[in-house]
Each structure stands twice: as structure tokens, then as C-alpha cells.
């Protein structure tokens, strides 16, 4: 596998690429480095993913119990919805609309619903 590291950004960045063999599979990696190293690497990466899930829940204003439910439902390798749902975002966005704007949104939503029912 080729691994590139860089220092700096843009045209000024200095980069270097080296090759390193990780084994290609978890079984081969365990043979090369040992089960503990492979497991620790996996857990280290997934802890960061769970921390990101928790941060997204906090940003979305979720309650602690809701965040715990999100974490309990989480599985490594499965993409999780971030933060608020489209519905929750829509409700938050319409809250600040004027009555005229809200009426226009309601009309557009009704038209979209009618179109989808066809």
C-alpha cells in the first residue's frame, strides 16, 4: 500500500509517498503484527467514530438518553445519519418564516405532495 504524508498546504506543501505492507486482510495483518495490534488499531479507530457520533448528537441538541440510543444502535462500518433529520431541519427552518413565507412553503409542499401521489 502506498501512504502519502504532507507538510503544509497548497503549492507550498512538501509531500512524500512510501510503501508499507499491512497484509491486505485482517488475518494476514494479525499474522504480521499480532492479534492485539490489529484489535487495538480497530478499537482506536472506532472509538473516534463513536466520539464523532456523540458530538453530532450534542450539536443536534439531542438529550443524553437519545445519544445513548444512537450509540447503542451504532455498528462499525455502517453509515449513520448525522445530526438532525431532514424533517427536523425543515421544522427548524420554517420557525423563523413570516406568515406569508410560511403560506408559500405550505402551498409548495401541498403541490409536491400532489405530484408524488400521481
pLDDT digit string (tens) for 53-99?
999 899 989 999 999 999 999 999 887 665 577 887 888 888 888 99
34 grid coordinates = 499480532
Give the model's pLDDT for residue 91.
84
Nearest to 83 by CA among 52, 117, 48, 108: 52
Calculate the CA 79 to chain-centre distance: 7
Give the model's pLDDT for residue 92.
84
Give the model's pLDDT for residue 81.
62
Instruction: For residues 7 and 15, give the distance between their C-alpha atoms in angstroms, rounded to a whole number.
Output: 6
Give the model's pLDDT for residue 71.
94
Nearest to 71 by CA among 90, 88, 51, 86: 51
* pLDDT per position as a tens digit, 88-116: 788 888 888 899 999 999 999 999 888 88
105 grid coordinates = 412553503
In the numeric block, the cell 440510543 is attached to: 69
Coil, helix or strand for 114? helix
Amino acid at each position: 500500500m502506498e501512504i502519502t504524508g504532507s507538510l503544509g498546504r497548497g503549492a507550498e506543501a512538501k509531500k512524500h509517498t512510501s510503501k508499507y505492507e499491512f497484509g491486505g486482510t485482517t488475518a494476514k495483518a494479525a499474522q504480521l503484527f499480532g492479534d492485539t495490534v490489529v484489535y487495538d488499531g480497530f478499537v482506536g479507530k472506532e472509538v473516534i467514530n463513536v466520539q464523532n457520533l456523540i458530538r453530532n448528537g450534542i450539536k443536534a441538541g439531542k438529550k443524553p438518553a437519545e445519544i445513548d440510543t444512537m450509540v447503542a444502535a451504532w455498528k462499525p462500518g455502517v453509515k449513520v445519519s448525522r445530526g438532525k433529520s431532514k424533517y427536523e431541519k425543515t421544522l427548524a427552518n420554517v420557525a423563523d418564516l413570516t406568515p406569508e413565507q410560511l403560506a408559500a412553503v405550505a402551498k409548495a409542499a401541498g403541490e409536491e405532495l400532489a405530484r408524488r401521489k400521481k
